[in-house]
Copies of this chain bind each other. A is one copy, B any other.
Amino acid sequence: MYEGVVQDLIDELGRLPGVGPKSAQRIAFHLLGADPVDIGRLQEVLGKVKEGVQFCEICGNVSEQANCRICRDTRRDLSLICVVEEPKDVLAVERTREFKGRYHVLGGSLDPLSGIGPEQLRMRELLARIGGEEVKEVIIATDPNTEGEATATYLVRMLRDFPGLTVTRLASGLPMGGDLEFADELTLGRALSGRRAL
Interface residues of A, Cβ cutoff 8 Å to B: 1-6, 8-9, 12-13, 15-19, 23, 25-27, 29-32, 36, 38-43, 45-50, 53-54, 62-64, 68-69, 86-88, 91
Given A29-B88, A62-B32, A88-B29, CB of A3 within 8 Å of CB of B49: no
Q: Are A3 and B43 in contact (CB under 8 A)?
A: no
Chain B residue contacts of A68, Cβ below 8 A: 3
Chain B residue contacts of A63, Cβ below 8 A: 3-4
Task: Give CA–CA (A39, B1) in the complex, Å.
Answer: 23
**Nearest CB on B from A68, distance (A):** 7
Task: Give CA–CA (A18, B14) in the complex, Å.
Answer: 13
Q: Are B64 and A29 in contact (CB under 8 A)?
A: no
Q: Are A87 and B30 in contact (CB under 8 A)?
A: no
**Nearest CB on B from A32, distance (A):** 6
Given A25-B88, A27-B18, CB of A43 within 8 Å of CB of B32: no
Task: Give CA–CA (A176, B3) in the complex, Å.
Answer: 30
Quick one: which of B1, B25, B30, B62 contacts A3, CB cutoff 8 A?
B62
Given A2-B62, A17-B30, A62-B2, CB of A36 within 8 Å of CB of B50: yes
Quick one: which of B5, B16, B42, B91 contacts A53, CB cutoff 8 A?
B5
Task: Give CA–CA (A63, B2) in the complex, Å.
Answer: 8
Give me 9 other A-B pairs in contact (C-beta within 8 A), A12-B42, A39-B50 excluded: A3-B63, A3-B64, A5-B48, A8-B45, A9-B48, A16-B30, A16-B31, A29-B87, A39-B46
Task: Give CA–CA (A39, B175) in the complex, Å.
Answer: 38
Q: Across the interface, name the chain B residue whose C-beta is closest to A31.
A: B49
Q: Are B17 and A26 in contact (CB under 8 A)?
A: yes
**Nearest CB on B from A80, distance (A):** 21
